[in-house]
């Protein structure tokens, strides 16, 4: 697995370097951006949620030119929880822990006549003097490339990959609006190192000015450091047909097949989903997308059951682990509303769908809601805030429910040329097994960032 991960990383970064280098070598000039939502030369229509419409490289509803930065921050975590227990059987926890982080990143988008390249990359090295077990690196890359072969045919490729060690504060502020990022950790129970990647390719055929057809596939993996947690690999195949009723209204019919295969624990799932979508652009700055449907989940795995007292007396144990197989039907609801202002943007989203789980919970029904706000000031200040709720209900395990609440805010303020003050606060509360286990964590980061240019640094 580690060798596969290294090969994947080399391919990802080689693709990024080749794309950026080729553009520079050919002397391509960016096309003029408009005020429209799409960031292209003409209005591309409202969002289609069944397709890959990423907001990477975009802050405040506008495409950004490339921005590079490095930073150094002091951090404090109220609680770090490894996958281990004390001698009494209780979970280990570090309590309040101070550390130092050195980070770096690049974000932005560039559009040419027939191509568009967007990238959001961030990474850091962290050290905790009093908790060296948690020392290490976090990395995150979201790379998107779009190419138009002809007036009717276009291709989009996206790579999402990274390394994560913490359950709170690292991905909450990233501009991830898509609900199909199965590999990105978002509901973790432990501060455990994990490697993840997801690759997606889509081909879109514009049959007429109103009718378009999209088809594609993707593969993904999550590799957990702890053998106590289930790693997962999977794939997805999808297709949809979209019809524009008017310039700003679109209806879509979509189908997708998704498969999860768990390593480290017995289990797999196959899910077939069909949805009907409707989206509308309410003026030049409002965008609403929705889709509704159902999914059929065929899954198997291991679960724990309570034994009959008579059998327990013979075996000397009260529980047993057994294999199960089941079929379940999941309603699919998704809605997303985006409002773009001149220097800011706000996005509200809600969805009920399915998830590969978090290493403890396997295939689950997921309900999630989020609210995100970003501001890129005209002079010195950039600001971002987020709040979210997530609920997991396992489709086969007797684990009760997982509920998580998170929120945070971050800002950068330009002090002098190239130097920025940086601040970030994140809070997370989650419960598992019907509130029998509860955890609260807070993270504070304060430091300095350095980036060329006089504009506000849009890290958040």
Say how far apart CA 53 and CA 64 lie, in whole Å. 16
Q: 2: pLDDT confidence band, cut at 50, 70 and 90?
A: very low
Helices (runs of H) and strands (runs of E) counted in the chain = 2, 20
Q: Which of 291, 276, 347 is nearest to 37 (CA)?
A: 347
What pLDDT is recorded for position 98? 94
pLDDT at 186 over 90: no
What pLDDT is recorded for position 269? 94
pLDDT at 331 over 90: yes
Eight-class DSSP state of 9: H
pLDDT tens figures, 294-325: 999 998 877 777 777 767 777 777 777 777 78
What pLDDT is recorded for position 5? 41
Q: Domain spans of the chain?
A: 53-450
Which positions ≥6 away from 416 have C-beta within 8 Å?
Answer: none
Mean pLDDT on 270-277: 96
Instruction: Convert 87-106 to b/e letters by CB count within 10 Å (16 or more is b).
Output: eeeeeeebeebebebebebb
53-450: CATH class: mainly beta
What pLDDT is recorded for position 40? 41
pLDDT tens figures, 104-156: 988 888 889 999 998 888 889 999 998 888 888 889 888 899 999 999 999 99
Q: Which of 449, 428, 439, 457 is nearest to 169 (CA)?
A: 428
**Which residues is 276 bridged to in the sheet?**
253, 292
Q: Is 26 strand, coil or helix?
A: helix
Segment holding 2, helix H or strand E: helix 2-26
Strands 381-394 and 364-376: antiparallel
What pLDDT is recorded for position 458? 67
Mind spelling out the 3-state secondary structure of 252-315?
EEEEEEEEEEEECCCEEEEEEEEEEEEEEEECCCEEEEEEEEEEEEEEEEEEEEECCHHHHHHH
Q: What is the pTM assigned to this prediction?
A: 0.80
Q: 455: pLDDT confidence band, cut at 50, 70 and 90?
A: low
């Amino acid at each position: 697995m580690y060798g596969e991960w290294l090969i994947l990383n080399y391919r990802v970064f080689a693709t990024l370097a080749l794309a950026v280098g080729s553009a520079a070598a050919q002397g391509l000039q960016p096309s003029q951006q408009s005020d429209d939502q799409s960031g292209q030369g003409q209005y591309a229509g409202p969002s289609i949620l069944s397709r890959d419409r990423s907001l990477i490289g975009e802050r405040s509803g506008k495409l950004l030119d490339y921005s590079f930065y490095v930073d150094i921050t002091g951090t404090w975590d109220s609680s770090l929880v490894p996958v281990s227990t004390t001698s009494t059987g209780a979970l280990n926890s570090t309590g309040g822990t101070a550390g130092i982080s050195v980070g770096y990143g690049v974000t932005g988008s560039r559009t040419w006549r027939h191509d568009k390249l967007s990238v959001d990359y961030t990474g850091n090295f962290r050290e905790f003097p009093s908790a060296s077990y948690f020392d290490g690196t976090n990395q995150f890359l979201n790379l998107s490339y779009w190419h138009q072969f002809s007036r009717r045919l276009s291709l989009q490729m996206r790579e999402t990959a990274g390394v994560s060690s913490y359950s709170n504060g690292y991905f909450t502020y990233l501009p991830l609006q898509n609900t199909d990022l199965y590999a990105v950790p978002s509901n973790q129970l432990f501060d455990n190192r994990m490697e993840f990647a997801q690759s997606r390719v889509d081909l879109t055929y514009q049959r007429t000015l109103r009718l378009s057809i999209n088809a594609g596939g993707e593969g993904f993996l999550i590799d957990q450091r702890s053998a106590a947690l289930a790693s997962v690999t999977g794939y997805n195949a999808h297709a949809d047909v979209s019809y524009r009723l008017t310039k700003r209204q679109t209806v879509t019919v979509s189908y997708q097949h998704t498969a999860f295969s768990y390593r480290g624990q017995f289990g797999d799932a196959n899910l077939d989903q069909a949805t009907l979508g409707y989206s509308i652009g309410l003026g030049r700055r409002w965008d609403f997308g929705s889709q509704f449907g159902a999914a059929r989940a065929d899954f198997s795995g291991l679960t724990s059951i309570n034994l009959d007292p008579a059998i327990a007396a013979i075996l000397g144990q009260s529980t047993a682990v057994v294999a199960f197989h089941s079929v379940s039907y999941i309603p699919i609801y998704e809605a997303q509303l985006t409002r773009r202002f001149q220097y800011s943007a706000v996005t509200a989203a809600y969805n009920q769908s399915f998830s590969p789980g978090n290493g403890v919970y396997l295939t689950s029904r997921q309900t999630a809601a989020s609210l995100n706000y970003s501001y890129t000031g005209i002079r010195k200040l950039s600001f971002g805030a987020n709040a979210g709720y997530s609920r997991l209900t396992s489709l086969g395990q007797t684990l009760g429910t997982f509920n998580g609440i998170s929120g945070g805010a971050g800002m950068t303020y330009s002090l002098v040329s190239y130097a920025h003050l940086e601040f970030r606060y994140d809070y997370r509360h989650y419960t598992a097994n019907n509130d029998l286990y509860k955890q609260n964590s807070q993270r504070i980061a304060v430091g300095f960032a350095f980036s060329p240019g006089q504009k506000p640094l849009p890290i958040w």
